[in-house]
Every structure is written in structure tokens, then in C-alpha cells.
Structure 1
């Protein structure tokens, strides 16, 4: 199936007291790499289309690009017709969409450097930030990519501060990056809000049917199989060990030894990929298990605490309250009230 672009340009002009004044046109190029995420592309396109109806400062028009033009196939098998990026166009911004950080593309690096010299805003979606990094355009900056790509990207481009959050915008607003899937919507909402004001940003979030803009540093949630099959194999082994030993937690030194790395190396892996320490992540896993048992089982609070690796009832209660903001007993009470259909007081969900 072929999907032609560009998208409609949107409102024709700016409303004023007199005649209609043409709104400045901002062209956004979307460089598609084979296997790009259809969902990530849709997030960018929908955001640009929605903002056209919410403000009169500018009209956004998007065009899909590749080196020579022609169809590019997404990971879902959708073929999108593109135009050659060598065509003379005054781009306001260019996003690179890629599912994997492949070999360095010298032609793309040259083109990105040329756009950067012209002052074009450059963004990377999913693994698209790898193309910007290969051109040296992210050195000394924070950048995001899909969780599965972070390990290889950190090794290939150590001058970039790779973050495990959802999206990043450089302080000068000239470099953008985000994780895959729907993170492209969060990035575009934040970027467009910075250009057109907080009110437009809030209306854009509502127009796209979102509850709110997810913060840039919200951690990506890798699935159970993804944690084992992608990223760092050593990290995957450590996570598997932790999840298999929740009732009797292993010391960090033991986890590191069983995985075959030093404690310092293990802590570096957790900090790089999950932005936390092994001990904190382990504690969060145990408390998450305890929360599920409190909500779904009839075991006593003490039994749940002991089976989640806590030495006593008070130890469990204090750790639980510190993590969730309320005690295990409060969790049980709220669950019981919900089952009976009794409203709780205050705004506690």
C-alpha cells in the first residue's frame, strides 16, 4: 500500500481586524529510514495537523523525505511515497525517523550538517537520533532513543549524554530527540508549546486526546521480553535474577558476581539504562509485587511483607509508605472501599 504525502497545509491565513494576512509557512521534513515506526510517524503528523487549528502564528506543512525519493517501507509494511531531500526547500525543521541505529550514512550526515549550518531545527525519533549523533550534532547534549538502542548508541557515540527518558529538547531548541512509538507526540507537543505558548500547548494535548504531556524524564517502560532480548545482556541477566529472587533478595555484590561483572560495572549499567541504582530497582520490584498481592490476594499484610523480602512488618510498612506515599494497610482499605463501591474522602485515587 502506498501512502502519498505531504499533508494538507491547514488554515490559509491569520485572522485580523481587517483582511486576512497570510500566515508564515513552516515546512517540516520527515526523513524516513526503512523500517521506521508507523505509529511514531503518525504522532508527528497528527501533532502538526492539530496545531494548525489552534494558533494563527504559523502554518505547518510536512513532507516525507529520503535521499532519492520514492517509496519507503515501514516496520508494518506500509509504503510511504517520499520526495528527494536534495530539492531546494526552506525547511523550518527536519526529523529523522528510524527503528534501528544502522551503519553510518555519510550522505545523510552531510545533509544533516548542511541543514544545521542553515539553522534548521533537527530532531531524531526512535533511533533517528543516531543519525544526528553520527554527524556530530548531539555532542555534549542530552538525547533520547528507544530503550533497546541505548546500549549500542552509548558505545558508538560516547560524546552524547544518552538519557533513558521519553524526550529531550536542547537548551537552544535546535536539537530534539525522543523514544519510539507515542513519545513522538510528547516531543512535538513540548516543542510546539515552546514556540506558541503554554495555552496552545495545553489545547494541543487536549485536541490529541491526551490526559497530559508526559515529562521528558519519565522512564521508558520496557516489556518483560524486551528487557531480556534487547539492550545490555548483562543488565538483562541481572534483572532476571532479581525478579526470580524477590522473596529472598540477593545482595548487589552477589548479583554482580553471578552476572560476571563488578559491582561498579553493574551500577553503571543500571544508571545508564534505568537511571537508578540496582538496590533501588530491586526494592521497587519487591514493592510492586507486594502492591499486587495487597490488591489481588487475601494474604495478611505480614505474610505479603515477608514473602516480598522484608524482615518484619514495620520494615515493610515503612518501605511501602516511603515508596507509594501510603501504608500497606491504607492500600488494603482503599481496595476494600473500591470493591464495596464506597467513595473515599479527598483526592486520593
Structure 2
């Protein structure tokens, strides 16, 4: 049973050497805006480093943390912020600190970008699903066999929440805020950030095929490129095999060995993924979607969609209408003081201050 969120949560952001600045910003900024729109302090946050010293981001920006992690207690959640060279950023002291937080002080742990690797190395993701930047997906699954590495842009699993890199932490934090304080608030934050659609756990990272296959499978890459270019009128598998001068059986073996599925299943995944993008981002009818993505009939398309995504396309579109993407609207400009409480005080002059009513549970 999900516990009620505290009135004000305190979150620690642990910055590892060469962390990704965009991921940190995408995780922190939704908390600031949640406070502004609610007109009260729903969240507090601190940046931390293990020794309290400045940390270099991967883009060369030096960030002086608010506090030394070793001296801090009482966080409602700790989020590990990773980036480039994550293995080199992990030390025995870091592992010990993370384990002590999980054991004694803080039950909710998260990570952004490559920070999941640190949690996994500390044994804190065993039995959990997690997300990590696509560059580390394969190596992380090999290194930590008890961790279920997902290709989702973010993953919420019990008291663990992890996201891939770039802007994915924004989606994750919006979902956490929505879970704590309601969809109205998370949608309003999205509107302020000119963010057209909040992605969910069914959205997956687009992992470059070259990263999965290397340079050793040019025929397989060529077949996939053909599939991607022919979604409306799918090419027969025998024709695909003939195009790259292999037998159908050889083609099936290549897909099973390197992509862990049949060619037909992979082709179907490409077509359904494209269909979902159009469903979420355009007003195209479901009948038209079925044709555009190469399905012989609308019922067949709906069945395949439901089997793959766990929801019927009509239901997904209905949900979009109930919770439509917010209209584009620029965020108010303001100078950001250092402390969250000061930010909230300054935001009182913003026209959006306290514009969202929070429903207490």
C-alpha cells in the first residue's frame, strides 16, 4: 500500500565526478516550479558531494555543493547524479555511504543518467528494474545480473526510481510530483517548461542499432534500415533476406542471436512504435494509423497494439483527451537565489504563484 507523501519532502542530489548537468537541472527544476505553482514549500533540496568539495560536470562547469554528504541525514530521498566515466567516479567510500543511507536513513533512492550504476554496484538495485543511459544498458546488464535493466526512459519500481540521461529526469520527476500531489500540478509544471508531452514508463530510449551490434553485422543493419524505411507497406521477409543475399533461415538466426527476437517481431515493434508516436502526437484517426503503419485492418492493429503496449489505442487516446498535453507557454523569467525557501519567497511576485490547488490526501 502506497504511503502518503509528507507535506514537504527533502531530496538530496549526490553529484558524482563528471555528472551530466542537464540531467541534474531536469531533476531539480520541476521541484522549484512545483513550489511556485502550489504557493508552498512542497519540496526542499540540497546538492551534495561525498567530501563537500566542488564537483566538475561533464561540460566543464564546476558546481559547489550545498553540503558534505557524510554530514547529512534525514533525506526523504537521495538521487545519484552520474555522467561520463561512472565506473571511475565510484569509490569504496561512496558505496559505503549509499548502503548506510539505504539501511539507516533513507529508504527511497533514485538515480539519473548513469547514476544507476552506482546504486547497482552498492547492491541497492538487486531485484529491481532500473533505467540507465542507453550507452550502459548492455554492460550494466552483464555486470549486475540481479538487476533488471530496462530500455524505458525512466523506471519507478517500489522505493527505487531511475532515469536515463538527457531530459528523461524531467519526465520522471513530473510523474513523481503527480503521484504525490496530483496530475494537475505536474501538467501545469509541464506547461511552464514548454514541455509538450510528459513521457511515461512505456516510452523507450531509441538505442542506436550500431551501439547494439557494433560494426560486425552490416547485413543485419541493412535489413533493419529497410524495415524502418518501409513501415506503411512492409516488405516480405523472403524479399528482405534476398536483398542482403542470405536465406530466410539465416536472417531469422541473425535476429535471434543479436536482437533476441524474430524478424517479424522486430518489424512489428517498429510499426507499433511509429503508430504510438502518431497516436500521441497527432490527431490522425486510428483507422488511418492502421493503414499508415502497414496493418491490414483496424481490429488487427488494435489487437497488436494492446498486446504490445498493454492498452488499446482507443483507450490511450481517450486518456490523452482526459489529460491533454498543456498548451505552449513560456516560463516566467526570474533570477534564482541559492536556497529553495528564498526561491519561493521571490516567486510570490510571479503571476503563476499559487495558481494550482493541491488536494491533500
TM-score by length of structure 2 reads 0.63
Change in Cα spacing, 1:24 to 1:320, as seen in structure 2 (3 Å) is: closer
Q: 2:272 & 2:191 partners in 1: Cα distance?
A: 33
Structure 2 residue aligned with 1:114 = 100
Deviation at 1:46, TM superposition (A): 0.8
Q: 1:287 & 1:196 partners in 2: Cα distance?
A: 33
**Aligned ranges for residues 306-325 of structure 1 at < 5 Å?**
318=296
1:189 aligns with 2:189: no
Unaligned runs of 5+ in 2: 1-5, 228-234, 242-246, 275-290, 304-361
Structure 2 residue aligned with 1:63 = 46
SS in 1 for 2:14: strand
Structure 2 residue aligned with 1:139 = 126
**Aligned ranges for residues 14-29 of structure 1 at < 5 Å?**
25-29=8-12
Q: Deviations over 1:267-301 (max 9, x none)?
A: 43x6xxxxxx5433335668999xxxxxxxxxxxx
Change in Cα spacing, 1:249 to 1:80, as seen in structure 2 (3 Å) is: same
Structure 2 residue aligned with 1:52 = 35
Deviation at 1:84, TM superposition (A): 1.8
Structure 2 residue aligned with 1:227 = 209
| 68-77 or 162-171: bigger deviation | 68-77
Runs of 4+ in structure 1 deviating by more than 4 angstroms, as ranges, are 234-239, 244-247, 283-289, 319-325
Aligned with residue 88 of structure 1, among 68, 72, 89: 72
1:235/1:266 contact within 8 Å kept: no
Aligned with residue 249 of structure 1, among 240, 255, 278: 240
| 108-117 or 184-193: bigger deviation | 108-117
Unaligned runs of 5+ in 1: 1-22, 271-276, 290-312, 326-349
Structure 2 residue aligned with 1:43 = 26
Structure 2 residue aligned with 1:240 = 221
| 74-83 or 179-188: bigger deviation | 74-83
**Rg larger in 1 or in 2?**
1
SS in 1 for 2:111: strand
Q: 1:39 & 1:254 partners in 2: Cα distance?
A: 43
* More contact order relative to length (CA 8 Å, sep ≥ 6): 2
Q: 2:150 & 2:87 partners in 1: Cα distance?
A: 19
SS in 1 for 2:18: coil
Change in Cα spacing, 1:288 to 1:142, as seen in structure 2 (3 Å) is: closer
Change in Cα spacing, 1:316 to 1:38, as seen in structure 2 (3 Å) is: closer
Structure 2 residue aligned with 1:129 = 116
TM-score by length of structure 1 reads 0.65
Q: Aligned pairs, how many? A: 262
Q: 1:38 & 1:68 partners in 2: Cα distance?
A: 19
